Amino acid sequence: MITAALSSLLMLSAANAPIPGETAPDFTEISASGTEISLADFAGQTVVLEWTNHDCPFVRKHYNSDNMQGLQRRAAAEEIVWISVISSAPGKQGHVSAAEANQLTESRGAEPAYVLLDEDGSMGRAYGAKTTPHMYIIDDEGLLRYAGAIDTIPSADPADLPNAQNYVTAALGSMADGEEVVTSLSAPYGCSVKY
Amino acid sequence: MLRFVLAFLLLITPAAAQSGAWVTTGHAESRLIAEKTAAVPGETLWLALDQQLEEGWHVYWKNPGDSGLPLELSWTLPEGFEAGEIGYPLPHRLPLGPLMNFGHEGRPLFVVPITVPVDAVTGQTVRIDVFAEWLICLDVCIPESADLSLAIAVAEEADDAPRTAAMIREARSALPRELGLEARFADQDGAIVLAIEGAPAGDAYIFPDESGLIEPAAAQPSMRSDEDLVFTLTPALKYRAAPPEALSGVLVVSMQGQEVGVLFNAQRSDEALSLAAVPAAAVAEEGGGNVVLIFAFALLGGLVLNAMPCVFPIVFLKAAGITQLAGADRSEVRKDAYAYTAGVLATFAAMAALLLALRGLGAELGWGFHLQSPIAVGLFAVIVFLIGLNLAGLFEVGTSVQGAGQGLTQKKGAAGSFFTGLLAVLVAAPCIGPFLGLPIGYALTAPPAAAIAVFLALGRGLALPYLALAAAPQAASLLPKPGAWMVRVKQLFSFAMFGTVVWLTWVVSLQAGPQGVLILGIALVASSLAAWLYGLAQEKGGSTLLRAAAALAIAIALAPLFTLTAAPVAAASTATEKIPYDEAMLAQYRAEGTPVFIDFTAAWCVTCQYNKRVVLDTEPIKSLFAETGTVFMVADLTNPDPIITAAIERQGRSGVPLYLYYNGEAEPEILPQILTAERVAQTLEQAG
């Protein structure tokens, strides 16, 4: 009964997902390198969460154009912890083993600090992640500062990238300057997360 | 290349076509069609994107829901021509796991009005080009696009185009209509209450224009209240971050298999759209429709509470008290009954006031909320344990007691009876017995004064049997003469208290885990030590030292209880085929017509546990669930859960147990609070 109660909390949390300004929910997931990663590990650091699914055309738009990798490199340089999260359930599109996840990271030249394998979707549900990509930024005090789309033009067409304004870049810039994030919430676009 | 081919085709068919060529993309075929044979200067020409989607695949409405993208059309039009907004077909709900999309399957027709300029030159044929982009999904998604084209004559007069005119007209007539409905909304208990006046009757669903305002996957319970159709909607992130002043969208109602879309534009209402109307409607259904009935139910429900499993321990305690009245004079019997009643009423009033105040502050709490705190449950366990020890004779209560032996003739004081009344309410509170769902549901939404009046009526019902004793105190003389039997009965009833302690310990184990049980166990031992020391002090004629030691022991007993925190632990689930309450899945099952049984329960609700053991978890009922393909959902309120609380309130109820059965109907069947195997079987077999 308690497991039922617990999982009911998990199932229902989409409607309780945090809004910017609220404390980001803690999580503990296995990373592709086999270690257990918790949000609590990064107290005092800015954390970016990127929900991903390598077969989703919207994700491919940002990886094939090196747009996502560029953001990851910049984050690494600024000691921002970039975490890619795969919430695809086993058997669903985008689900990968740890080895496959590492292979994807290498082949795409991606540079996330960690790739988390959220097979049961608990982390995705806790954050209310709906699409791939769906981006979140958590500040050094554990508060959610941004949730939403990666940029302003919802499309799967890489040709739109030059005209789009990147919400994550803008938010990280404001945070680095100690200012309020101008757009802290936007409608995410992309494929549905394959829970 | 495509453009070239199309242009070529147009060249060899120079006559205006009213429908462009089909273009095949991965999972769809698309073309552009016109309603009329010609564009008439100064008039509107209706065009449509006609799509034939591959079976099972869907495209998206203007608000795609949790994911997806709406259609985008980029027009290349002759000089002066202007394209209007896309008219989407009525959206459908497309559930995908825990997510929900709004979109279209099969053969959607997206209509667009084209304004033809007054000075358009007649006698010529013009080309209309559109670059259409859409996202098409099964569970995987593929962006598709096509260049579509149409050649149409410009003429003074136009006829209906064969076939396509009828298609476009049908699509236009199916567009959501502006009926000028009055709509307003307000926030209530974390939900959006949307009232649409004069909405058509039928199975209704709200599709908001804008994404991020209403949680797409959440169920949308609705009920009719006078002229209004009232929805309870779940706010999504954007709404929670910045509650909007207006909420617009399409209300889709299905009537006799026909779907009708109606536009609404709701303004935020200053006054709360109290759902008081809801229980009122529920009352009307049950027959009475007036406040008198609510009070009658409260009184009757309170009376029946005495026979509910959860109140048993207190009934024993009260019975123990009554036996002590043997040989008492009438005034004493009366005093005792009044004190008990006062205890019941004062506690009901205090708890109701506290509950209403907390709810006023926005807490999602229902009746019985105090048992959601392991600290309260732990304290409760200690108190009940001490009462048990008192009944067993370890110590006496009262200041005038000089020796345990005198307890024989020592009448329980009025204070003791008052306290018993208090305890009765605390124990009874988590129970919703027969008849009580309605009055308590009403009380939680009624104005505070009315609410407290309802609770007081309930308390009067609970105290009624003892009040009757006050009215006829001579009944007490039916008891045997005072004697040693009074002590024995008290000792016997102490076991009912110890049984209650076992139950409360189990509740703590579910709320706070093994650590919680350890802390409670220590508290129980320390409190029994305190009771023993206190008893010794009484024997020794009030030794100050012993009393101080007893006080210290009770402090040791209680202090660690306050460290109890709700830390749900993973325990092996013994239940088979039960799934946790999930509104998205519920909506999906309901849409599919799968029967669903929902068990709103909590570990601290003894009646719930009784129903579970005696009916729901028995083999015949379990196999009946399997045979009828009924989904068994468990909504567990052991720890606070605003979503489950809201779901209970939507039924006009406020606490557990609550049993709902959905089977194709818009409104669920509500089963009684005390289940019987026959009753459950009768309900389940509807689906057989």
According to the 3-state scheme, what is the secondary structure of B59-77?
A: EEEEEEECCCCECEEEEEC
Other CB atoms within 10 A of residue A180 CB: 12
Whole-number pLDDT of residue B445: 64
For A42-108, the DSSP string reads GTTS-EEEEE--TT-HHHHHHHHTTHHHHHHHHHHHTT-EEEEEE-PPTTSTT---HHHHHHHHHHH
Burial of B486 (0-12, 13-18, 19+ CB in 10 A): buried
Q: Across the interface, do B642 and A16 touch by the CB < 8 Å criterion?
A: yes
Q: Are A154 and A62 in contact (CB under 8 A)?
A: no
Residue in B with minimal Cα distance to A3: B570
Report the C-alpha dihedral over residues B7, B13, B16, B21, rounded to 10 degrees. Answer: -60
B chain contacts of residue A185, beta-carbon cutoff 8 Å = 212, 237-238, 241
Out of A46-55, B4-13, B370-379, B472-481, give the one with best mean pLDDT: A46-55
Higher pLDDT pick, B652 / A105: A105
Following CA atoms B32, B35, B36, B39 in sequence, which dihedral angle do they give, to the nearest 10 degrees? -60
Instruction: Report the range of poorest mean pLDDT among B195-204, B362-371, B542-551.
Output: B362-371
Which strand ranges, in their side-by-side order, compose the sheet holding B191-197?
A: B203-208, B246-255, B258-268, B183-188, B191-197, B228-233, B222-225
Both tokens assigned to B87 = 């008219």
CA–chain centroid gap for B455, Å, is 22
Say which of B99, B135, B569 has its CB closest to residue A2: B569
pLDDT at position B16:
53
According to DSSP, residue B654 is labeled -
Interface contact flag, B641 A12, Cβ < 8 Å: yes
Given an 8 Å threshold on Cβ–Cβ distance, is A192 in contact with B98? Answer: no
**Cβ contact (<8 Å) for A11 and B585?**
yes
Integer Cα distance of B56 and B340 in angstroms = 66
- pLDDT for B310 equals 64
Which residue type is seen at A1? Answer: M
Cα separation of B461 and B465, whole Å? 8
Among A134-148, B409-423, B609-623, the range of highest mean pLDDT: A134-148
Residue B580 to residue A147, Cβ atoms within 8 A: no
Q: Which positions in chain A touch B241 (Cβ < 8 Å)?
A: 19-21, 184-185
Alpha helices in B540-655 (DSSP H): 544-558, 583-592, 606-611, 619-628, 642-650
Best of B94, B138, B140 to disrupt the A interface (most A CBs within 10 Å) is: B140
Give Cα B228 distance to the centre of its chain. Answer: 20
**In this complex, which of B141, B570, B579 lies closest to A6 when CB atoms are compared?**
B570
Question: In chain B, what residues touch A19 (CB-CB under 8 Å)?
Answer: 237, 240-241
* A14: nearest CB among B98, B101, B572: B98
Asked whether the beta carbons of residue A155 and residue B635 sit closer than 8 angstroms, the reply is no
Q: Do the Cβ atoms of B643 and A12 come within 8 Å?
A: yes
B559 to chain A, closest Cα gap in Å: 27
**In Å, how far is B676's CA from the nearest CA of chain A?**
21
Structure tokens at B511: 């709320």
Q: Looking at A121-130, B88-97, B381-390, which range is the least confident one?
A: B381-390
**Angstrom distances, CA of residue B32 to CA of B5, B109, B147:** 16, 10, 10
**For residues B13 and B290, which has the higher predicted lDDT (pLDDT)?**
B290
Average pLDDT over every residue of B548-568: 76
Low-confidence stretches of chain A (pLDDT beneath 50): 1-14
Minimal C-alpha gap between B100 and chain A (Å): 9
Q: Is the pLDDT of residue B658 over 60?
A: yes
**pLDDT at position B46, please?**
95
Contacts of B107 (CB under 8 A, 6+ apart): B50, B51, B52, B53
pLDDT at B372: 73
Least confident of A137-151, B316-330, B651-665: B316-330
- Of the pLDDT bands very low, low, confident and very high (cuts 50, 70, 90), residue B574 is very low
Sequence-ordered list of residues with C-beta below 8 angstroms from that of A25, at least 6 positions apart, any chain = A13, A18, A39, A126, A127
Residue A53, pLDDT score:
95
Looking at residue B571, its pLDDT comes to 38
What integer pLDDT is reported at residue A146 of this predicted model? 96
Asked whether the beta carbons of residue B135 and residue A156 sit closer than 8 angstroms, the reply is yes
Interval B323-349 mean pLDDT: 79
Closest Cβ–Cβ partner in A155, A185, A192 for B66: A192
For residue B446, give both structure tokens: 């009624």
The one-letter amino acid at A84? S
Please tell me the predicted confidence (pLDDT) of residue B278. Answer: 40
Q: Which pLDDT score is estimated for B402?
A: 36
Question: What pLDDT band is residue B542 in, cutting at 50, 70 and 90?
Answer: low
Residue B297, pLDDT above cutoff 90: no
Q: Helix, strand, or coil here: A151? A: strand
Which pLDDT score, from 0 to 100, does residue B511 have?
Answer: 78
Polymer length of chain A: 195
Tell me whether residues B66 and A92 touch, CB distance under 8 A.
Answer: no
What value does the mean pLDDT take over residues B516-524? 89
DSSP A31: B
Contact assessment for residue B149 and residue B132, using Cβ atoms and an 8 Å cutoff? no
Q: pLDDT confidence of B273, banded at 50, 70, 90?
A: low
Residue B615 is classified by DSSP as: I
Q: Which of A33-47, B418-432, B559-573, B647-661 has the lowest mean pLDDT?
A: B559-573
A122 contacts on B by Cβ (under 8 Å)? none
- Check pLDDT > 50 for residue B405: no
Torsion of CA B680, B682, B683, B687, to 10 degrees: 130
Give just the sign of the alpha carbon dihedral B561, B565, B570, B571. positive
Taking a C-beta distance cutoff of 8 angstroms, is the pair B138, B95 a contact? no
CA distance B665 to B661: 10
Average pLDDT of chain B, as a whole number:
80
Rounded mean pLDDT, B504-529: 86
Q: Cis (ω within 30 of 0) for the bond into A162?
A: no
Q: Name which of B139, B141, B641 is nearest A57 (Cβ-Cβ).
A: B141
Write the DSSP symbol of residue B242: S
Whether B108 shows a pLDDT value over 80: the answer reads yes
Alpha-carbon span B66 to A192, nearest angstrom: 7
Q: What is the pLDDT of residue B257?
A: 66
B286 against A77, higher pLDDT? A77
Exposed e or buried b for every residue in A6-44, given b needs 16+ CB within 10 A? Answer: bbbbbbbbbbbbbbbeeebbebebebbeeeebebeebee
**C-beta atoms of A57 and B217 within 8 A:** no
Of A7-21, A23-37, B464-478, B583-597, which has the strongest mean pLDDT?
A23-37
**Smallest CA–CA distance from B95 into chain A, residue:** A192
- ipTM, two decimals, is 0.80
Most confident of B113-117, B231-235, B560-564, B667-671: B113-117
Read off the pLDDT of each residue in B270-287 and give the average, rounded to a whole number.
44
CB contact under 8 A, A128 and B638: no
pTM: 0.52
pLDDT score of B615: 84
Distance from CA of A178 to the nearest CA of B (A): 21
